[in-house]
Structure 1
């Protein structure tokens, strides 16, 4: 299902956001100096000034990526703008070596990490960024070009809110406002902005898409309800059909596999990503193979994206494959990630060795779990020994093991919040925080 709505003027979008946000609130606005983020800052400041709100405060942050000449000057320009409006402003610079390839993705990760640091320092309740209606259309166009499948989840576009690093909600108040309306709003206020030359560089995919779809669009296509509803249904399915053992084995009731195919597919894809320690959902063709295997209803096993799906008469068992289980040394007092599935904190005064392809660990599983499944679980559960004294296990209290949900721990779209929380409860993790708006 999709539906169309008319875009909302920037000032009205800002008012709606301020009306809905949980109060009191401290908002951190990410401002690059471009028209979209500048318009967001000015609109939010205007609304707060007009309403005289005392329970909402506004600060801004600018990230200097240090990728081109003039970026530092633009950051200082934003600082001057904020000073004129009495808005506290922070500048952070992305220092260090830059990758030769994948610079856009690396810059994005660095940007959010630096913004997150500022948000933590000031105790921000929410981070606001200036993505617009045009950005949404471009995102959907890019994802559509990559896959013509009718079940392409990318067609949902960007979520209006995303949880970063499990603690900072990033919101997009202008996702229903057009860039042209934002620029008209700024011109009315006599406010200029900086034009980033990379926004016109056709070597970037988004710019090429923007050029191909240059005709102004006054209608928004909102397809997010598809993914939100599907994800919620998958969450309910997991609650009813799944149980977890040792945070690394999922058992699915056979009756659950007879449910709606789209729901089963979405749920199993999410579970497989968590169990396999994969940051991204399984490729569509891989899930096609898994679903085709399950549809036969015949006992057997299939592996996809580091996850093993073993179908037996009593249940479907889902676990990490036993190949390439890593070894890891964790120094005294250090915290490390193991196999993208567990966070290990060494609270002892000795170096601890985690895992290893020859490691085995006696596991405490119900007698109903098949012996061959239990044997594989022995190989994928984190084993802990003292370095230099192999065979000597760490004592109680010397190590903390925290299961990870790598598909959600860095970026969790609002679409999947309920689903992520169901899986978190399933494997013994605390719930993710609710968005403030």
Structure 2
């Protein structure tokens, strides 16, 4: 198998730095089978010392899934590739099966990648999948989402999901498999009209011109989305400051910038970050907040975030409503979408709960020209704290305040899936709130350097 579609096999993976190896997701379908064979050839030729681990996720949703995983295991044995089968265990939801299965699939694949120490999962998404994604997002009027799937996505902050076949058509991959004498498994779920993607697939099956138009849309929107992210990141870097845990200030000049699209995008991201929400707020409602800010004063709430406009700037902090109830400590859990908390045995018997208005009023607050004490206290009241009975042992927002407890800020809208199109704005938001630095993308730019936002 020398090439996929019109792309020589050697070029398919030429931009990827596989490092110590990769996990290849294989279901047994034509796309993932072709991907595995192409990867095997590439690793044999260019990366003989790197590890290639094939992983099949058995979603346990069909009676034939275990047997199909065994078939894939037999193929991997024939090819000399290490194979793992991981099962989605537990009770399945009664609705939203595709989304839940997708989340479980990436969680299980990433778990194997971490266990193997490779940090990369490669999937067989094709140009056909890309066209289906774009047409589904068109139906939901998702503007930047029309860029489709990115060639690289960061999952849970440490595992890269790569899609090297996004420019390849499924028909070409099947032709290559047929010529090489290899078959594949057809999943009946892919034809079930009860689900959105099969409906999109059926609609596009007989309309080749529509497919090409959708792919052209993705190619056009992707660089526009990246550019908007870079411009928004520059504004966050220039005007944003974290005054205290949970309190962000945007300088007055921010709203007066002459790039209204970038201003809108930067504020949407920061509202989601401050509120700990996984989705960006509606752009029309955020535009209304910006009109309010033009008056120089005002206060509103959106995406669980209070935006307080004063002469000194725009101040963002988590609103007091809807904060998590007191809960026992769970090592590594994300609290309120804003902090990942780890701890040692010394804090057993305690619970995490909001610091609270009473405690915030009684505690010292920073006072300075950048913000009044009332804003510091309002932000601190919504921060996580460790409680033992009715006694607050301390706020977790302040680093090093409680021995044995580590609190790391989380950039909520990009915490689970960070599209490579949004790397720059995610980097700026991470730096602003003191979240961990983003790992470098394994994709190289066209000049051979490591890619940054174009991933």
Contact persistence 2:229–2:421 (CA under 8 A): yes
Which range is displaced more, 334-343 or 236-245? 334-343
- Can you list the C-alpha shifts for 1:363-421, whole angstroms capped at 9, x where unaligned? 54341212332231132122333x23514548741322221112122111111112212
- Return closer, same or farther for 1:391/1:71 CA change in 2, 3 Å cut-off: closer
Q: Does 1:104 align with 2:93?
A: no
Contact persistence 1:65–1:71 (CA under 8 A): yes
Q: Does 1:383 align with 2:385?
A: yes
Q: CA deviation at 1:11?
A: 7.8
Q: d(CA) in 1 for partners of 2:109 and 2:12?
A: 20
The answer for the alignment partner of 1:365 in structure 2 is 366
The answer for the alignment partner of 1:426 in structure 2 is 432
**Mapping of 1:189-200 within 5 angstroms?**
189-200=180-191
The answer for the alignment partner of 2:236 in structure 1 is 238
Determine helix, strand or coil for the equivalent of 1:54: coil
2:168 to 171, 177, 181: 177
**Mapping of 1:146-161 within 5 angstroms?**
146-147=140-141, 152-161=143-152
- Return closer, same or farther for 1:193/1:392 CA change in 2, 3 Å cut-off: closer
Question: Which stretches in structure 1 are left out of the alignment for 5+ residues?
Answer: 1-7
Q: d(CA) in 2 for partners of 1:335 and 1:359?
A: 28
Contact persistence 2:357–2:378 (CA under 8 A): no
**Mapping of 1:129-140 within 5 angstroms?**
129-140=123-134
The answer for the alignment partner of 2:247 in structure 1 is 249
Q: d(CA) in 2 for partners of 1:139 and 1:430?
A: 31
Q: Does 1:73 align with 2:50?
A: no
Q: CA deviation at 1:203?
A: 1.0
Which range is displaced more, 404-413 or 186-195? 404-413
- Can you list the C-alpha shifts for 1:61-80, whole angstroms capped at 9, x where unaligned? 00000001211111111111
- TM-score, length of structure 2 as denominator length: 0.87
Determine helix, strand or coil for the equivalent of 1:62: strand
The answer for the alignment partner of 2:406 in structure 1 is 400
Q: Does 1:316 align with 2:307?
A: no
Which range is displaced more, 17-26 or 398-407? 17-26
Q: CA deviation at 1:351?
A: 2.3
Superposed CA RMSD: 2.2
Q: How many residue pairs are counted as aligned between the two chains?
A: 423
Question: Which stretches in structure 2 are left out of the alignment for 5+ residues?
Answer: 396-400, 444-455
The answer for the alignment partner of 1:5 in structure 2 is none
Contact persistence 2:244–2:376 (CA under 8 A): no
- Can you list the C-alpha shifts for 1:14-36, whole angstroms capped at 9, x where unaligned? 42243222254302110011111
Q: CA deviation at 1:318?
A: 1.1
Determine helix, strand or coil for the equivalent of 2:316: strand
The answer for the alignment partner of 2:452 in structure 1 is none
Q: d(CA) in 1 for partners of 2:248 and 2:10?
A: 45
Determine helix, strand or coil for the equivalent of 1:310: strand
**Mapping of 1:241-280 within 5 angstroms?**
241-259=239-257, 260-280=259-279
- Can you list the C-alpha shifts for 1:74-103, whole angstroms capped at 9, x where unaligned? 111111111111011110011111011111
Determine helix, strand or coil for the equivalent of 1:421: helix
**Mapping of 1:303-342 within 5 angstroms?**
303-331=301-329, 334-342=331-339
Q: CA deviation at 1:308?
A: 1.4
Q: Does 1:283 align with 2:282?
A: yes
Q: d(CA) in 2 for partners of 1:359 and 1:96?
A: 42
The answer for the alignment partner of 1:211 in structure 2 is 202
Determine helix, strand or coil for the equivalent of 2:326: strand
- Can you list the C-alpha shifts for 1:154-195, whole angstroms capped at 9, x where unaligned? 111111100111111000000010111111111111110011
Q: CA deviation at 1:305?
A: 1.3
Which range is displaced more, 228-237 or 276-285? 276-285
Contact persistence 1:278–1:406 (CA under 8 A): yes
Contact persistence 1:424–1:430 (CA under 8 A): yes
Q: CA deviation at 1:52?
A: 5.0
Q: CA deviation at 1:350?
A: 3.6
Determine helix, strand or coil for the equivalent of 1:58: strand
The answer for the alignment partner of 1:4 in structure 2 is none
